[in-house]
Amino acid sequence: MSSDDRWGSVSAEQDASGDADADELAQLLAMAGGADDAGSGPGGGALADALSQGVTTGPTDDRPDREPDDAEALAALRAVEAELDERWPETRIEPSLDRIRALVEVLGDPQRSYPAIHVAGTNGKSSVTRMIDALLTRIGPRTGRYTSPHLQRATERIAIDGAPISARRYVEVYQEIAPFLGIVDRAQGDGPRLSKFEVLTGMAFAAFADAPVDVAVLEVGLGGSWDATNVADAVVAAITPIDIDHVNYLGSELGGIAAEKAGVIKEGAVALMAEQSPEAAKVLLERAVAMDAEVARAGMEFGVLGREVAVGGQQLRLQGLGGEYDDIYLPLFGEHQAKNAALALATVEAFFGAGASRKLDIAAVRDAFASVRVPGRLERLRSAPTVVVDAAHNPHGARAAATAVREEFSFRRLVGVLAVMRDKDADGILAALEPVLDEVVVTAVSSPRAMDADELGSLAVGFFGADRVVVETRMDAALETAIGLAEETDDPETPVAGAGVLVVGSVVAAGEARTLLGREPQ
C-alpha cells in the first residue's frame, strides 16, 4: 500500500503541520473504499483456494528472504520509535475504539482484507499466537502475526511468514500511514490523540494487507472489548487462562476481567477456551451464547492427553477437535506450554473447519510444533552456569515458571535475577518464586515504569530474608553477580554445570538479558 498510489497527494508535511482542511477526514473516508464484507481484498482468494484443497496441504517454499537490518535502517527505526514515543504509551489507555476505527477507515479498512484469528487472555497469549502462526505457516497459508510487547526490537511485533519484518519495512509502513495520523488526531478535537499502540496496530493491519497475507493472527494488547486489535472481526477467538493483572484498567474481579476479554468473541465465530476458573468460564460462555458462537473447551473437546519431559522441551500427545495427534515434540518447557499447544492446535483446526472426521496433516503439525520459538519464555541463553529467562510479570505467570523450573530442570543451586514494574504485584511474584530460588538478585530495568531496586530489595527481604537478597541497580551488574553466586560452592569439585540463573519479573528484564547475552531479536 503506497500513500502516493492509493491516497493522492496528502503528505507527511501536512501531518506534521496540522494545516490540512477541516473536511479532510470525510474526504479521505470517501476515497478509501476498502474490501467488501465478503473479504475479497488481498489474501481472501488465496485462502479460499487453499481451503478448497483441504486441510492437509504442505508447507510452501516461496517465503521471501528477509533483508538484514543495516546501520542505516536501524537508525531510521530508532527515529520512528522516538516519534511514536511522543504519543501515549501502551500503559496509558482511554478505553475506546473510536480512534483506531477512524484510522483503519482512512486506510481503507485493511483488517477486512483477510480473515483473522484473535488471541486473548491473561498469560500465554504470545506463546499461543506464535504456535498458531507456526501451524498455519507449515500447513500453507501466508500469515501475518501481531504480538506485544516486544522483548528487544519493535519489529518483533509485526511478522509475516513467521518472521519479523525488517527495520526498513517497519519504517516504510510507518511512513505510508504517517500522513493520516495527524488527520485522525485532529478529528478527535479535545480528546486524546492516537496512542502508540493504536498506531502500531494500524501499521500491522496495513503491512498485512500490503503483503498480502491469507490470515492474520492477532494478540490482544490489553483487555479485549476495547483493545485496538478488536476492530478486526475474527472468525476464531482463542482465550488463554484468565487471571488478575492490569488491575488499574481491568479491575480485580475475575468476572469483570473475563467480560472485557470475552469481547473478542464475535457474532457467529468459534471460541476456543483454555481451562478457566468457574467465574471466568461462566462469563465467557454467556458471551458465546449471546454471540451465537460455537465453543470448544480445554479438558472436554481438546486437551493434553500425555506429556513427557524431553531434551530441550517435552514430548506431547494432544487431543484435537479432529482426533489424537501423537509424537509431538515441543521445544518449550512447562505444563502450561503443553496446554498452550493444545489450545493452539484446536484453534487452527477450528479455523480450517476440522472435526471428528477431518484432521490436520500430522506431519505438518509435528513440524510446526518442533519449529516453535518463543523468546523469553523459559528460554535457555547460556550454559555453565545455565541462564534461563522468563517474561513472567504477574503471580500467575511466576507460579507457572516456578513449577516448570522445579519439575523440569535439575539445578543444584538456582539464583534469581528479578526486576518488576511498579504497577505489578511484586509481593505475589516474590511469593511464587521464593520456594525455587536459593538467592535472588533484585535490580531495575531501563524503563520509567521500573520499580526501584532498593524498594524491590526491601520487599524481597520480607520473603527471602536479608541473607538471601542482593541488590544491584543495573541488569548487567545483576547478571554478573547472579552468575558468580550460582558458581559458588564449598566443594571445588562440584561442577558449575549444575548451577543456574533465572531472569524473571518483566518482559523488559527478559529482553535486556537477551541483549546482554548476545541474542538477536526473533
C-alpha cell at 37: 464484507
Residue 143 · residue 160 · CB < 8 Å: yes
Residues 422-453 have pLDDT tens digits of 999 999 999 999 999 999 999 999 999 999 99
SS (H, E, C) 400-459: HHHHHHHHHCCCCEEEEEECCECCCCHHHHHHHHHHHCCEEEECCCCCCCECCHHHHHHH
* Structure confidence at residue 243 as a pLDDT band (50, 70, 90): confident
Q: At what angle do helices 98-106 and 196-210 cross, to 10 degrees?
A: 30
116 in helix, strand or coil?
strand
Tell the CATH topology of 71-371: UDP-N-acetylmuramoyl-L-alanine:D-glutamate ligase (3.40.1190)
pTM score above 0.75: yes
Residue 282 identity (one-letter amino acid): K
Distance between CA 212 and CA 111 in Å, rounded?
11
Nearest one of 483, 468, 309, 503 to 392, comparing CA atoms: 503
Closest CA to 48 of 264, 368, 353: 353
Using the predicted structure, report yes or no on whether residue 251 has a pLDDT greater than 80. no
User: How far is the C-alpha of 122 from the C-alpha of 105, rounded, in Å?
Assistant: 29
Annotated domain spans of the chain: 71-371, 379-517
Residue 387 has pLDDT above 80, yes or no: yes
- Cβ neighbours of residue 364 closer than 8 Å, sequence gap 6 or more: 56, 57, 58, 59, 135, 138, 139
Give 417 or 90, the one with higher predicted confidence: 417
Measured CA to CA, the distance from residue 479 to residue 213 in angstroms comes to 41
What's the whole-number mean pLDDT along residues 314-334?
A: 97
Grid cell at residue 478: 545483576
pLDDT value at residue 493: 65
Strand partners, 355: 358
Distance between CA 367 and CA 206 in Å, rounded? 30
The reported pLDDT for the residue numbered 95 is 86
pLDDT at 230 over 80: yes
Cα–Cα distance between 419 and 438 in angstroms, integer? 17
Residue 88 has pLDDT above 50, yes or no: yes
Q: pLDDT per residue over 122-135, tens digit each?
A: 999 999 999 999 99
Please, which contacts does 63-67 make with residues 24 or more away whose CB atoms are closer than 8 Å? 63/161, 63/162, 63/163, 64/161, 66/163, 66/164, 66/165, 66/166, 67/166, 67/168
CATH (one of 3.10.129.10, 3.65.10.10, 3.90.190.20, 1.10.40.30) for 379-517: 3.90.190.20
CA atoms within 13 A on the CB side of 295: 22
281 pLDDT above the threshold of 80: yes
Per-residue pLDDT, 43: 32
Q: Residues 309-335: what's their mean pLDDT?
A: 97
Find the Cα–Cα–Cα–Cα dihedral 289, 290, 292, 294, rounded to 10°.
Answer: -40
| Nearest one of 470, 402, 464 to 432, comparing CA atoms | 402
